[in-house]
Amino acid sequence: MLRFVFINGPPSAGKDTQADLLKQQFPHSSRISTGDIYRGARDKKGRYRYYWDSVQEDIKRAEEGGLIQDETILGLVDTVVRKAYALGTNTFVFTGFPRTIAQLRHVDRWLKELKEQLRTDLKHAFVELVLDDHIAEQRRQIRYKQALDAGKTPRSDDVPEKVRKRFHEFYKNTEPMLTELRESGRSITVGAAKSIPEVFHDLATSLEGASFQEIERSFRPTERR
């Protein structure tokens, strides 16, 4: 049995926090960020350093202001998943992926291919964390101030200029995909304005309703958003 959970939503919705909590509840699971894969391959660091050859052309393109090709991202994801599955991982939790309608089409085809080629049952769920923009901005401001007060450098994605760019990209590319998933009844929507435990409770309950295994909720959540 293979399980995939794709968690998406606007900046500051708590995607990584919920993904980390979810990973703790599934044995033999892995949390995957396509950004982590690309940066690890590009910088030759961490567990993804071995994929540098796969991103050479995209590194050059990105340095010239271009975008990383979907084919590169999907190829990396496929390789990472297949290798992890061969080593015993059967549950994969993705954050911020897919992020466009084109990537969603790729993922739909890819999941069908995996099921056929690996000859295993496969379950998947698309999760949308819903958060109003003003609450997202409040969270960003709190994180930014806390970092400065502690004498630390604020997160790069909390810098106002970067935040505006992230929201622009989200509404331009990701929101149309989420709208399609929502209107076709293919996604699970979870309100992300509550506390971390409450959001996780709603997420876990929704996944159980989608025929995922029961998830233990007696956990100690981190305070990271």
Long-range CB pairs of 217-223 (<8 Å, 24+ gap) are 219/21, 219/24, 219/25, 221/17, 221/21, 221/196, 221/197, 222/17, 222/20, 222/21, 222/196, 223/196
Write out pLDDT tens, residues 42-76: 888 888 888 888 777 777 766 665 567 888 889 98
End-to-end CA separation in angstroms for the chain:
31
The pLDDT value recorded for residue 192 is 97
Strand, helix or coil for residue 78: helix
Tell me how far apart the alpha carbons of residues 208 and 181 are, in angstroms, rounded to a whole number: 19
Identify the segments of the chain with pLDDT beneath 50.
Answer: 213-225
Assigned CATH topology for domain 2-28+90-209? Rossmann fold (3.40.50)
Distance CA(51)–CA(21), nearest Å, equals 27
The residue among 215, 220, 196, 195 whose CA lies nearest residue 205 is 215
pLDDT at 38: 81
DSSP 97-153: -S-SHHHHHHHHHHHHHHHHHHT--EEEEEEEEE--HHHHHHHHHHHHHHHHHTT-P
- CB distance 2 to 90 below 8 Å: yes
